[in-house]
Structure 1
């Protein structure tokens, strides 16, 4: 598999949490913003947005642990792929690049890592941007009845170690291709080379991808429940851009997010799930607007975080 890279960005391998090595693409100059990819993709999904942001920001784009060219440690317990551990990866690599605070944007799985980073490291995250996902606790609470079939893969990968890995490995190219094809609204978001690259990358990471999802049905859910019970919220400015899944599943996404993020802006988009590739201009504008909003936050409010 030949890895695709972001033109004009430098690839580096940096230490994450523990002894895990994280592959990172870095480009641009200015305040740091970190972009976290979703499933079933790699950092390459940010190529268009990253190049746009690089004129005003240092843009840091990692492969999450278990994905792409980052290490894929064996799952030796629920912590291995907990979003807390993955958030610690992000804080570590950004610190290794010389930044003690940064903006953080996540899509899909990467957004769940970003939320955990915002809850665990409020002094480090300047602002938080979320693309097309709900917090873990709310994801499980809104899925019910036959409408939950849209998230069938969540239930498959939530099963104990062994069976889901074997089932997916048996048809791995078809399994991962089904999401790229179903979630690509008009079939024009990826070139054939890009589609093959995402599929090949995911096929090489079946066990770690399943472990990532399994954590969200276990330890990540437990962490969210504990935070909700303690009244913990995201203290920084938060922006969410999403498809309107609530119309199908019967929930108010903005209200669910506001329970976690009092300083929230929410936007529904006509773009599909892969919005950073389908409409990168809209996503880049969303991020720069969020960054400007944070910069305008009165110092007393920032200090209170």
Structure 2
């Protein structure tokens, strides 16, 4: 699925990050979400590599990347995971670059833009609003629909033990819930996701990611709001049609977090890079053309 991409392993502070590179032109970092790997970009990355130097990574602890195995979730804060990505891009000689993030990867992406404003030329957020905004809107519907946010945030090692009973069932159920049409996921991608999810150390990293989201990440967001810090780069936000009310849209929410924001809803479910690759490309390519030039 990533034919023509070169695989690398980059040592960062406390982790080993798997990175896959191809193309030439302005640098572009792709950050996947839960419960996936860099393979989530297999329908988009080759097209973007015609115009950009694409770097697609596995987040700390996900896929082929490795992170610490410990009870403390601070090593999986988005601040720490963002530092991983800055180190990766520097390894390739890129001090400034554009970022597209989906799901958990978008949370790493906006933290990267907040903490390292000089590094990010432009940021694309797929299906995400800031973490503190999610918690501020948490209600019964959220708890029932996105129950994994609450389950995975439980103390070590309760969720790890629960998921170890039948990881394939849990992953399949999760991906079906995330998609409008489960058949949009290729057999090759599903095989990669299953192989990764079967590994206890990968599931542990995912739990740590969500534990951090309920604790230290939330604290970092609140501190930014109190200090009035915003994203200085141009921002594009795309979200699932029908998921948000017409009043409380991600576009309105992100305008409190960034000076220059545009965006709209697109059809389909949560896994936009695989369900709606053409719609995503139609949105991000002109945006990157305007803002991500070298």
Q: One fold, TM greater than 0.5?
A: yes
> 2: CA distance between counterparts of 1:257 and 1:274?
20
Question: Hey, what does 2:248 align to over in structure 1?
Answer: 251
- The count of corresponding residues between Structure 1 and Structure 2 is 290
Alpha-carbon distance in 2 for matches of 1:207, 1:274: 22
Q: Deviations over 1:114-145 (max 9, x none)?
A: 01001000000000000011110011111212
Contact 1:40 1:199 in 2 (8 A): no
Q: Are positions 1:94 and 2:89 aligned together? A: yes
Match of 2:287 among 286, 290, 293: 290
TM-score by length of 2: 0.94
For residue 289 of structure 1, report the CA deviation from its aligned partner: 1.8
| 2:10 corresponding residue in structure 1 | 14
Gapped regions of structure 1 (runs ≥ 5)? 297-305
Equivalent position of 2:266 in the other structure:
269
How do residues 174-185 of structure 1 correspond to structure 2 at under 5 angstroms?
174-185=169-180
Post-superposition offset of 1:76: 5.1
Contact 1:173 1:200 in 2 (8 A): no
From 212, 219, 223, the counterpart of 1:222:
219
Q: Give the aligned partner of residue 44 of structure 1.
A: 39
Q: CA deviation at 1:271?
A: 2.4
Given the superposition, is the C-alpha separation of residues 194 and 78 from structure 1 closer, same or farther in structure 2, using an over 3 Å criterion? closer
> Is the Cα–Cα contact under 8 Å of residues 267 and 276 in structure 2 kept in the other structure?
no
Q: Which runs of 5+ in 2 are unaligned?
A: none
* Greater displacement, 77-86 / 143-152: 143-152
2:183 aligns to what SS in structure 1? coil
Q: Post-superposition shift, 1:194? A: 2.3
Which range is displaced more, 257-266 or 178-187? 178-187
1:251 Cα offset (Å)? 3.1
- Structure 1 residues 188 and 73: alpha-carbon distance in aligned structure 2, compared to 1, 3 A threshold: same
TM-score, normalised relative to structure 1: 0.91
